[in-house]
Amino acid sequence: MATETARSESDVPDSVSEHLTLEDRTGLLRAMLAMRGIEERAMMLYRQGKVPGSFYDGFGQEAVSAGPTWAMHGHDRLCILHRDLAAHLIRGVSPARILGQYMGREGGITGGRDGNVHFGERRVGCVGMVSMLPDMMLVATGLAMAFKMRDEKRAALTWFGDGSTSRGDFHEAMNWAGVQKLPVVFILENNQYAYSTPTASQFAVDPVERAAAYGFPGFSVDGNDVEAMFEATRQARERAIAGEGPTLIEAVTMRMHGHAAHDDMKYVPAEQIEEWKRKDPIDRQVKRLEPLGVDVAALRAEVKAEIDAAAEEALAMPMPDGDTATERLFADEPALLEDGASRWSGF
């Protein structure tokens, strides 16, 4: 299924999953709208000087985090990358805390200790990324190792980019997960560029083909089709909890903005951007749902109101007190991962 949908471009299949209800499909659209809306608001705040450091977004890649997260159970675990904001939202992190995070506020997820999208809310089963990519592939592999050791029917999922496939931790994680046949889903977010480096300078062989070399299947999926991403992940998770081991899913997508706010992306041909604009994941899901009677305008208004309120709440959050910067380096008590929301109607 997944491979077949990979190169579909203009056509919008009605639904690529018999496992999604209309409510699921609307939920997926809502998550993508919320991701885009929050990131657009954060970009405004950045331009107003309220977001320190730089700003990174996942514009045009919303389906890559929304679809897979929808397919994961609340007791599964996610290691989330920087263009995957929808994952946090679907797990249950509030938009206000995310905007507070961007602004380095005390009420942000890390309380100002780390910036922008470097966060994971442990109370909803998420581990935040570090800048060294793809370190979290090994952490996700370790989570899956724990599930297997305890004989639990749970799975771990992580995202990583096309650039990550050049580093050793990619190999170590793929190999380890293959050797131990672990319940982990690897999502390669192939957005064509690692900063300014195109995939042609990154690898000689499409990395999805490498999965076979590690002893497990790899699928290339249309990363701008949220339902295709859901379905591919649902199947990968089924394999994982059935004890059949890992799956590599390559989400073929495009980074529509620069690496970060400072990057004008002039190294990307204009026609490439134009081509991918036509494949916008939100537009595609809207085209699916409007004929089914979903009131998309109302949904957009609802999301906007939520973000307006969240921005107000985040702007009211105090900055952290400088005197606390040296506190809480070590834990006095264990503070571990907890379960997040299970969204899919199939659970």
Q: Which of these ranges, 64-72, 208-216, 239-247, 327-335, lies near other proteins under the rule CB under 8 A?
A: 327-335
Burial 325-345 (b: 16+ CB within 10 A, else e): eeeeeeeeeeeebebbbbbbe
Instruction: Quote the least distance from Cβ 173 to other proteins, whole Å.
Output: 7
**Rg of the chain taking only CA atoms, in angstroms:** 19
Site for other proteins in 69-128 (CB under 8 A): 77, 109-110, 113-114, 118-120, 122, 127-128
**Residue 271 found at the interface with other proteins (CB under 8 A):** no
Instruction: Quote the least distance from Cβ 92 to other proteins, whole Å.
Output: 16
Question: How many Cα atoms occupy the beta-carbon half-sphere of 133 within 13 Å?
Answer: 18
Instruction: Quote the least distance from Cβ 229 to other proteins, whole Å.
Output: 23
Could you give the C-alpha distances from 218 to 174, 209, 210, 253, 259, in angstroms and in order? 11, 7, 8, 16, 26
**Residue 333 found at the interface with other proteins (CB under 8 A):** yes
**Residue 232 found at the interface with other proteins (CB under 8 A):** no
Site for other proteins in 134-153 (CB under 8 A): 135-147, 149
**Residue 329 found at the interface with other proteins (CB under 8 A):** yes
Q: Which of these ranges, 267-275, 276-284, 311-319, 326-334, lies near other proteins under the rule CB under 8 A?
A: 326-334
Q: Are 210 and 190 in contact (CB under 8 A)?
A: no
**Residue 298 found at the interface with other proteins (CB under 8 A):** no
Closer CB to other proteins, residue 84 or residue 135?
Answer: 135
Give, in degrees to the nearest 5, the angle at Cα 73 between 344 and 215.
115
3-state SS record for 303-328: HHHHHHHHHHHHHCCCCCCHHHCCCC
The binding track of 152-181 with respect to other proteins, each residue x by CB under 8 A or -, is ----x-----------xx--xx-xx--x--
**Residue 254 found at the interface with other proteins (CB under 8 A):** no
User: How buried is 171 (Cβ within 10 angstroms: 0-12 exposed, 13-18 middle, 19+ buried)?
Assistant: middle
Instruction: Quote the least distance from Cβ 13 to other proteins, whole Å.
Output: 36
As a 3-state breakdown, the chain gives helix, strand, coil percent values, each rounded to 5, of 45, 10, 45
**Residue 317 found at the interface with other proteins (CB under 8 A):** no
Closer CB to other proteins, residue 81 or residue 229?
Answer: 81
Query: CA–CA separation, 98 vs 90, rounded Å?
Result: 13
Amino acid at the residue 134: P
Closer CB to other proteins, residue 18 or residue 327?
Answer: 327
Closer CB to other proteins, residue 67 or residue 107?
Answer: 107
**Residue 330 found at the interface with other proteins (CB under 8 A):** yes
H or E element: which one contains 288?
helix 281-289
Query: CA–CA separation, 156 vs 176, rounded Å?
Result: 14
**Residue 322 found at the interface with other proteins (CB under 8 A):** no
Residues at the contact surface with other proteins, assessed by CB under 8 A: 77, 109-110, 113-114, 118-120, 122, 127-128, 130-132, 135-147, 149, 156, 168-169, 172-173, 175-176, 179, 328-337
